């Protein structure tokens, strides 16, 4: 029985976290400003008040220590959900993530489990200062031992955070901060998809747009604009970036013959490179055109007044669709 509620992604994440904390007393939330303030984006608002300072912990300002201490806590059966305040602040924790979190299960031949969720608000489009608009997802997706997911709408945000917390493997949970305040219908009673599954969010016949996180809405907007010109575009939300679930993508590309991968992160060695390679491996004879990529450029994130030029938008996406269709 569905229970539909309209809410923002922030609220959906908050209610998802709350549900996980109510369900399992070993779930704890830690990070900078997550307690009393409720997080700079208010994702953890009210949790400390209801669950106490022990389970919702304002940490000192040190990202490596947030991850390092979370690791120690897993040795006692805790399931830490850590918040990295902004994408660009995760790098001090990179060593603990790739050298410890990703490896301890492997290093111990399976005896140690690292059920840590690393929440990272990421991506641009909000006019932020430097280090507040990065898209570092590929750096985690390329690290064996981590699972990396990204939600694109409030319903998925609400459920994927709970599924990530329930996972016995470490999950890097990428939250598209430019979509934090957009509303959507959330079914708080049930969801149909598991965590590590992609899905078709708009069916179409002429081309396949592959996106995740903040670019899903941009791609849906692009498809809507194309529809007015009689072009029927299918849009797929990857949802999981590592492992990739490309079955629906292959199925789609075999029908459309054309694929365009879209992300904010820089092009070279971004997710688009991997997706493009796998589409080529699996759908070679179905392809009518090379897989196109619409991405951020290979530069550090630019000053925000030109970010609209840097970020993939409708025009660049539809231009790529046109190029694919012109082959």
Partner 1 sequence: MTDPSDHADAPLVQLLTPDGRRTTSPGYIYDGTLADIQDLYRDLVMTRRLDTEAFALQRHGELGLWPPALGQEAAQVGSARALRPQDFAFPTYRDHGVVWCRGEDPVHLLGIFRGSSLGGWDPADHHVALPNIIIGSQTLHATGYAMALTLDGLVGTGNPERDAASIAYLGDGATSQGDFNEALDWAAVHQAPVVFFCQNNHYAISVPLERQTRVPIAQRADGFGLPGVRVDGNDVLACHAVVTAALQRARDGQGPTLVEAVTYRMGAHTTSDDPTRYREAAEVEAWKAKDPVERVRLHLVAEGVPDEWFRSVEDEADALGVRLREACQDIPEPDLAELFDHVFVESTVENEQQKAEYVAWRDSFEGSVA
Site for partner 1, rule CB under 8 A: 28, 54-55, 59-60, 62, 64-65, 67-73, 75-76, 78, 92, 95-96, 99-100, 103-113, 144-145, 147, 167-169, 196, 243-245
Catalytic hit among 105, 131, 132, 158: 132
The answer to whether the beta carbons of residues 256 and 208 sit under 8 Å apart is yes
Q: Least distance from C-beta 67 to partner 1, angstroms?
A: 8
Minimum CB distance to partner 1 smaller for 104 or for 233? 104
* Spatial CB neighbours of 113, under 8 Å, sequence gap ≥ 6: 74, 105, 168, 169
Q: Least distance from C-beta 277 to partner 1, angstroms?
A: 13
Pair of tokens at residue 217: 């809405």
Alpha helices in the chain (DSSP H): 9-23, 47-51, 63-74, 94-95, 104-107, 137-141, 154-166, 214-228, 247-256, 271-283, 307-310, 314-326
The question of whether 132 is a catalytic residue gets the answer: yes
* Spatial CB neighbours of 129, under 8 Å, sequence gap ≥ 6: 304
Minimum CB distance to partner 1 smaller for 27 or for 321? 27
Minimum CB distance to partner 1 smaller for 96 or for 218? 96
Q: Least distance from C-beta 99 to partner 1, angstroms?
A: 5
Minimum CB distance to partner 1 smaller for 106 or for 181? 106
For 286-316, give the secondary structure using H, E and C: HCCCCCEEEEECCCCCCCHHHHHHHCCCHHH
DSSP helix/strand/coil, 240: strand
Q: Least distance from C-beta 207 to partner 1, angstroms?
A: 26
Q: Least distance from C-beta 248 to partner 1, angstroms?
A: 13
The answer to whether the beta carbons of residues 226 and 260 sit under 8 Å apart is no
Pair of tokens at residue 245: 């679930």
What's the first-to-final CA gap in the chain, in angstroms?
Answer: 47
Minimum CB distance to partner 1 smaller for 5 or for 64? 64
Give the active site residues.
132
């Amino acid at each position: 029985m569905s229970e539909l509620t309209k809410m923002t992604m922030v609220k959906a994440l908050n209610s998802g976290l709350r549900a996980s904390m109510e369900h399992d007393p070993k779930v704890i939330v830690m990070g900078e400003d997550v307690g009393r303030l409720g997080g700079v984006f208010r994702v953890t608002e009210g949790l400390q008040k209801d669950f106490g300072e022990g389970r919702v912990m304002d940490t000192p300002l040190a990202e490596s220590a947030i991850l390092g201490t979370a690791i120690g806590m897993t040795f006692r059966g805790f399931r830490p959900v850590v918040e990295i305040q902004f994408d660009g602040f995760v790098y001090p924790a990179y060593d603990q993530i790739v050298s410890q979190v990703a490896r301890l299960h492997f290093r111990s031949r399976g005896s140690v489990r690292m059920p840590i969720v690393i929440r990272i608000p990421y991506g641009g489009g909000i006019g932020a200062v430097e280090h507040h608009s990065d898209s570092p997802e590929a750096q985690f997706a390329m690290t064996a031992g981590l699972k990396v997911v990204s939600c694109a709408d409030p319903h998925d945000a609400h459920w994927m955070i709970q599924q990530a917390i329930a996972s016995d493997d470490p999950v890097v949970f990428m939250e598209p901060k430019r979509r934090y305040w957009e509303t959507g219908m959330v079914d708080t009673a049930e969801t149909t998809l598991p965590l590590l599954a992609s899905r078709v969010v708009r069916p179409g016949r002429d081309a396949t747009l592959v996106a995740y996180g903040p670019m899903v809405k941009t791609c849906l907007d692009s498809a809507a604009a194309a529809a007015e010109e009689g072009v029927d575009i299918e849009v797929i939300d990857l949802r999981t970036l590592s492992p990739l679930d490309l079955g629906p993508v292959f199925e789609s590309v075999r029908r459309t013959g054309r694929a365009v991968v879209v992300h904010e992160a820089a092009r070279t060695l971004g997710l688009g490179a991997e997706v493009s390679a796998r589409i080529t491996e699996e759908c070679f004879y179905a392809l009518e055109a090379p897989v196109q990529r619409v991405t951020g450029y290979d530069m550090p994130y630019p000053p925000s007044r030109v970010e609209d030029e840097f970020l993939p938008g409708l025009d660049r996406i539809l231009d790529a669709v046109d190029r694919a269709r012109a082959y």
